[in-house]
Chains A and B, each alone.
Chain A
Amino acid sequence: MDVRAQMSMVFHLDKCIGCHTCSIACKNIWTDRKGTEYMWWNNVETKPGTGYPTAWEDQEKYHGGWVVEDGNLHLRSTSKTQTVFNIFHNPHQPSMDDYYEPWTYDYQHLFNAPEGPDQPTAVPLSMVTGDLIQIKAGPNWDDDMGGSPVYAENDPNLAKLNPEQRAQMFAVQRLMFFYLPRICNHCLNPACVASCPSGALHKRGEDGIVLVDQKRCRGWRACIAACPYKKMYYNWQTGKSEKCILCYPRLETGQAPACFHSCVGRIRYLGVVLYDAERIREVAGLPQDELIEAQRSLILDPHDPAVMAAARHNGVHDAVVESAQKSPTYRFVKDWKIALPLHAEYRTLPMLFYVPPMAPVMAQKTGSTVDNISDDLFHDIDEARAPIEYMASMFGAGNSGKVRYALRKQKAVRWYRRALTVGDVDMATAERMLREADCSPAEADAIYRLTSLCTFEDRFVIPPMHREQAVEMLEDPLAHKQGVGFGFMEGPRRGL
């Protein structure tokens, strides 16, 4: 057992209101520099939809993630040999058009325009070339299913549905959509790290945050093709790759990452989990329908004395283990099993988990009235407007059982709470539903509290980062013992 700590996240999709506050918070802090305008380390997309960059889930096109071939894990985008041949040209890169060409408006013109018969306008200007552009797409062009015949209908997750189910999803009275906020998953088996020819990408030892060393990065862009979530971005100004850093400077000072902190729907949870690094290779190579369960089994019980001892042996600070014991992520993923990884079939073992959203039931139009097929507007999982196969394609690696389990439990908790507080449904039915959903009343209560009444402290359980200890993994502090005081980490440079 090789116990390590990982900062792990849960997004509760039922709570996301699609306000994009998270994206803006992130952009304002990290990606408003030249060369990064087009990057959205945090983005929120509408499902069904193709997201950002367009159809990023279509790995036939983008070649991201891992595949198993004769029992071995291989990157889909490259290999050691191929890296040599493709070093100056890494194929399968999304083009600027697949992201979008960032733009601003010529606001000055509003002030400077000569007097005329019409109001002056501010024309869009490309933030790359500075020229006047025709806006063709944006980072969230299909928001709320805008342009659905182009975008929503080409959602790669629809591939598993039969034509009838597809048609149903887009019939006017049956339409449904939900939001999918995405950041880097800080994967346990990150394809981006594996693909980098310069060894510039690394996973921080103490918290598993995946980072790009800006000094080592040579801009080969292998990571951009390799990351199946397309969460690696190339800065065209510096010629280096960049990605979500999980706001580690904020974490180190005890604050939640900006997108977590600002989230209006309070959908985001953050906490440490302990995992067994020894089994990563084995788990990532398992058959697809075992992936979700196996990834879950990688996460270890922080109350187990053996795990705690192994953690201490590995240099994980006691405070971190303690924090892991209070981790909301652990409860969602391990205790309640209602949070699932997004596209586990990419085999990067993502450490961001999603609580799948409940969808309203289907409706039918009779004459001029619209009737719901079931009276249980939100609770009839199999009559839901989003077919379970669609959800399973995203959150179950094709295994609908896992998604059904998570949805049933949520449904049972709602009935239970309704029986308890509103009283318009029968408590006996609610309790039967709980039993069927593998959920005790106490658990239902805990889920309810962490979902609905959660405070800042409940949502973000951030351990003391102990940088002073973590740095020992890379450098020996005693080597600098007599060198402290005045001086420079890096010598001063003047002039050109």
Chain B
Amino acid sequence: MTFKLLLHRIGPAFYIPLIFIAGPIVAHAQEAVDFFRGNCTSCHTIGGGRLTGPDLKDVTQKKDRAWLVQFLQSPQAMIDKGDPYALKLKEEARDVVMPNINGMTPALAELLLTMIEAESKLPKSQFAGLQISDRPFTQHDIELGKALFMGDKRLANGGPPCVTCHTFNGAGGFGGGHLGPDLSRAYERLQGRKAMGAWLYAPATPTMSLTFSKKALKAEEILPLLALFEDTARSGAEDNRTGLAGFFAMGFLVAILLLALFAVIWKARFRAVRDPLVQMSARKVLGGRS
């Protein structure tokens, strides 16, 4: 077995420590690009407009570098300190606070800012965000989205279908997985088409990013999924409870069937001798009388 194969097998056990180890030693522009792609794109674009976080085009001109470097170290700390600009950012992001980024050092922050500055100058940055078509969703999109969610249609890059870990109202049967959150209302939570699209393109949570960093969703897959989520959210669906209820109902039914089966298989089992004798005689006597 080659080392690579081995690494692939026990991959996650390696990736996670690698993230921590790799963080501080990023020292190259290319690595700033990679870091940005891996950590920032789910909330930010450069010249692609606001997602959850603000568009970072020309951010270095809006605020001085020293402030930005400090902010990047710990956004929450700045807010706690009552920094007015930080508070304003928080308000603009509808109270979503930028998380502390693992492996963020002042040197890395500098590198990132330099990279953002350079990207801002380009007519179209590579981080302008995923360009998902703005065309209205069709019924076909919704159906395709459902097929992708449920795994009826495979994801092009080989990622696992959503239903493995998530459920949504309309997943039917026993519902989907319960490892991840219920996605019935995710469209609202993630603030609509654009932000959610960006999120799906580069998911930021550790589990999702581990799973999808190498098997990213494609734009033509994200659109139908968005269509599905939008449709579910618009129909005002609550979280999927039917799955759980169905599960218990089914379990109950199967238990009853099994008991019935046992009753048939072991019909001739020993029950009692004396009592049936007495009952039988009582019936004989009473039956004779009436």
Contact = CB atoms under 8 A, between A and B. Distances in A.
Contacts of A61: 270, 273
Contacts of B277: 50, 54-55, 150-151, 154
B269 interface: yes
Contacts of B272: 95, 97-98
Nearest to B270: A92
26 contacts: A50-B277, A53-B273, A53-B274, A54-B277, A55-B274, A55-B277, A62-B273, A63-B270, A92-B270, A93-B270, A94-B273, A95-B271, A95-B272, A97-B272, A97-B275, A98-B272, A98-B273, A98-B274, A137-B274, A149-B281, A149-B284, A150-B277, A150-B281, A151-B277, A154-B277, A154-B281
Interface of A: 50, 53-55, 58, 61-63, 91-95, 97-98, 136-137, 149-151, 153-154
Nearest to B278: A150
B285 interface: yes
A263 to B, nearest CB: 28
A53 B270 CA distance: 14
A62 B278 contact: no
A152 to B, nearest CB: 11
Nearest to B279: A150
A313 B199 CA distance: 94
A93 B271 CA distance: 9
A89 to B, nearest CB: 10
Contacts of A95: 271-273
B273 A58 contact: yes
A154 B278 CA distance: 10
Interface string B276-290: 011001001100000
Contacts of A97: 272, 274-275
A224 to B, nearest CB: 11
Given A149-B281, A149-B285, A150-B281, A91 B274 contact: no
A62 B274 contact: no
Nearest to A150: B281
Given A50-B277, A55-B277, A97-B275, A62 B285 contact: no
Nearest to B269: A91
Return the 7 tightest CB-CB contacts between A and B, nearest first.
Answer: A54-B274, A150-B281, A92-B270, A54-B273, A98-B273, A98-B274, A55-B273
A474 to B, nearest CB: 37
Interface string B70-86: 00000000000000000
Interface string B105-119: 000000000000000
Contacts of A94: 273
Interface string B235-278: 00000000000000000000000000000000001111111011
Nearest to A63: B270
A150 B272 CA distance: 15
Contacts of B271: 95
A102 to B, nearest CB: 15
Contacts of B273: 53-55, 58, 61-62, 94-95, 98
Contacts of B270: 61-63, 91-93
Contacts of A55: 273-274, 277
A59 to B, nearest CB: 12
Contacts of A154: 277, 281
A95 B271 CA distance: 8
Contacts of B274: 50, 53-55, 97-98, 137
A91 B278 CA distance: 22
Contacts of B278: 136, 150
A8 B270 CA distance: 33
A63 B270 CA distance: 9
Nearest to A60: B268
Nearest to A94: B273
A232 to B, nearest CB: 15
Given A53-B273, A150-B278, 14 more contacts: A50-B277, A54-B273, A54-B274, A91-B269, A94-B273, A95-B273, A97-B275, A98-B272, A98-B274, A149-B285, A150-B281, A151-B277, A153-B281, A154-B277
Contacts of A54: 273-274, 277
A12 to B, nearest CB: 30
A97 B281 CA distance: 17
B7 to A, nearest CB: 46
